[in-house]
Chain A
Amino acid sequence: MNDLLKQLTEAVGVSGAEKEVRLLIRDLIADHVDEWSVDTMGNLTATKRGTGDYDMRVLVDAHMDEVGLLITDIDSSGMLRFTNVGGFDDRALLGKVVQVGPHKVTGVIGARAIHLLKRGEYSKVVRIDAMRIDIGAKNKEAASSSVKVGDYAAFVTEYEELDGGRTAIGKAFDNRAGCAALIELLRGERYPFDLVAAFTVQEEVGLRGAKIAAFNARADAALVLECTPAFDLPKEQDRSPNVALGKGVSVYVMDARTIQDPRLVAHIMATGDSQGIPYQVRQPGGGGTNTGAIQRAGAGIPAATLAVPGRYAHTPTMMISLDDYDNIVRLADATLRTLTPDTFRRD
């Protein structure tokens, strides 16, 4: 059992309320870094000083927030109205168990039973503003004693490793998988340069935390560790999956927010090739990671993204391959260990 992934994914940290994850990660890294600090938005930044070979600072980012729900109102019957935090498919919500607020009050998202539906209603998507979270309270007064407007809610999903042990399911692999990988890097040997690890907030609501973390880091280069949605399900046409589970680390080239630094991408691929670490190029196109904010911070930072492919992103239960996870740790580590100022020379 991968305890790191278990602890990290079972912790709650919806965008804007990442405290629990922040404290957990602080405890997991404190003995392995030279210093750590927290900025005004709640980004946790740690420095692992280098061996002194290169006068360079490299930022490695992993966002610690997850998508979730936010309580907007408590109605007179004690039901909680809510909105989504981060991108969601409304169809993923019905019938889910959630934990509400810092004290993790259990609630369920229910809807009118199938027996009572009118003709035609059955195939319609129930929209989020028509759903309620039921915590069992009898009225507003009673509900207000344990939850309040502005509380965040997360799914309740335990981490599990499936038969054979190389596939894991759980919530929030996006992006606790990236956090776990970054923690493993911090626990390793020093790099030839100063490594600044940023566990950032509010990625899912617009790459917000990374903007100031990158401004603060004053880095010469950056690597972002992520979990990217994988659509490798049975399909008819020859369009291939964007990325597939078990086929290696997903390397970004371009998404909706960035064109990844070509020099860094080439270095990553060369590293993977020479060290025999499997990787796959993620289909360029949509999506976006903190690289989008980091690349433009200050006077610009060359940046690239590595990701663990994850099926069923932004739902209560994601699935990843633990081989991919092991490989992202290896590839990120090998990429960093062979990174030099020459990697970024233009000629």
Chain B
Amino acid sequence: METFELLKQLTEAPGPTGNEGGAAAVIESLWRPFVDEIVVDRVGSLLGIKRGAGPADRPRPSILLAAHMDELGLMVSRIVEHDGNGFLRVTELGGVDRRHLLGQTAIVHGTRPLTGVLGGLPDSYLSEKERDKAYSYENLVLDVGLPIDEVRRLVSIGDFVTFRQSLRKLQNGRVAGKALDNRASVTAVTICLEHLQQRRHTWDVIAVATSQEEETFLGAYTSAYAQRPDAAIAIDVTHAKGPGTNDSELMELGSGPVLDIGANVHPGLYGALRDAANALEMKIGTGVHAAGSGTDAYALQVARDGIPTGVLSIPLRYMHTMVETVDMGDVERVGRLLAEMVARLDDNFLGNIREELMRPEISIKNGRGRSVSSVSEDDGA
């Protein structure tokens, strides 16, 4: 399938944090042809397992690819009557950027889906101290245009709300829409699985569309615990250069996958991804995090007795809004890079990265775009 079509299906499916079923159904249909087994676990994550070509007589090592499928949304917190009409007050699911809500359309997932408008009173009706401020959830209404009786019949407190936004093509292969955080990564994993149909890989691949990353990393903690993979990669989005984000360390859209270095990343997994990129002659960027990476890797790394974990990201603008923007080329490159990395995993990989933790630093010199360890005396991965 064309990348745009994949992204369109995946981003337009509703899957707010805590109620990912709509997205999971689409992902299941896309992954089913590529995997041996599909499971939805009890916290709502979807797992696609593709068995490796390694020997069947002993357990094959496995790598877990985690891309969270939940999207930001809202939840109905109160139903308020005014003049016979029913209005909904909402609260946020995940870190919604509240400044973007006014004038947005949304879908209330009541006993049937209802379209509504997020509106509010004009400035002049707000109290002095609320003017000039972003609308708070106490001031915003979600208006489905129905009388109170109808609203009470169709909507309950606790109903989920998703933003209504179809995926748009911009110029230069860029697309904008909702939920690209993190369906762009789900798309990349889908592309990876498709590539792996043509590639021999000895390791089992456990592709996981995780639930509730935006709230508690629930799906990452639980799937890693249940599956006990030997290694894991979190695939997520990262801030790209754009309005207000021109820091020199950020990547441009279209400049390729970003590999993280930092506390959540096992150097061996970073190395394996970097080597795979080198093999593909693919340009990569480097992301650095000092503590939490803000991705599923935070949970994967410390599941059970620890899982060597890497982080691979797609540059994205306007994170946590309804106009998140990515370059489709980056999505495809991340998919290809993942497939290459998985195909290169062999019997020695785990032993090598274990040894790396106890190998004294040796080398000094490196050139542009190459890291110190890539030219060390005996390069592990």
Contacts and interface: CB of A to CB of B under 8 A. Distances in A.
Chains A and B directly touch (beta carbon < 8 Å): yes
A72 B358 contact: no
B248 A73 contact: yes
Contacts of B266: 40-41
B366 A145 contact: yes
A109 interface: no
Contacts of B262: 16, 70, 150
B286 interface: yes
Given A150-B286, A212-B302, A16 B361 contact: no
Interface stretch (A81-89, A172-180, A258-266, A314-322): A81-89
B305 A212 contact: yes
Contact of A22 (B308, B357, B364, B368): B357
Nearest to A20: B361
Given A41-B306, A208-B263, A148 B371 contact: yes
A12 to B, nearest CB: 11
Contact of A38 (B263, B290, B291, B357): B357
Contacts of A103: 361, 364, 372
A150 B371 CA distance: 10
A81 B361 contact: no
Interface string A199-224: 00010011010011001100000000
A15 interface: yes
Interface in B308-351: 308
B306 A102 contact: no
B288 interface: yes
Given A23-B360, A73-B249, A102-B361, A39 B290 contact: no
Interface in A110-164: 141, 144-146, 148-150
A102 B261 CA distance: 15
A181 interface: no
A213 B300 CA distance: 15
A103 B376 CA distance: 13
Most buried by B among A23, A85, A148: A148
A19 B357 contact: yes
Given A22-B357, A149-B261, A40 B306 contact: yes
B361 A41 contact: no
Nearest to B266: A40
A274 to B, nearest CB: 38
Interface string A80-107: 0101111000000000000001110000
B100 interface: no
A288 B261 CA distance: 26
Contacts of B263: 15-16, 85, 202, 205, 208
B22 interface: no
B95 interface: no
A75 interface: yes
Interface in B251-293: 261-263, 266, 286, 288, 290-292
A42 interface: yes
B307 A40 contact: yes
Interface string B362-381: 00111110011000000000
Given A144-B368, A148-B366, A202-B263, A70 B288 contact: yes
A83 B266 CA distance: 20
A211 B357 CA distance: 19
B358 A22 contact: yes
Given A23-B358, A72-B249, A215-B304, A101 B372 contact: yes
B291 A39 contact: no
Contacts of A211: 302
A39 B358 contact: no
A205 B290 CA distance: 8
A39 B262 CA distance: 17
A149 B358 contact: no
A71 interface: yes
A32 interface: no
A42 B301 CA distance: 12
A26 interface: yes
Contacts of B288: 70-72, 83, 149-150
Contacts of A205: 263, 290-292
8 contacts: A70-B262, A86-B291, A103-B364, A205-B263, A205-B290, A208-B301, A208-B302, A212-B302
Ranked nearest first, the 8 interchain pairs of A and B with the lowest CB-CB distance are: A150-B261, A16-B263, A102-B361, A205-B291, A212-B306, A73-B249, A40-B306, A85-B290
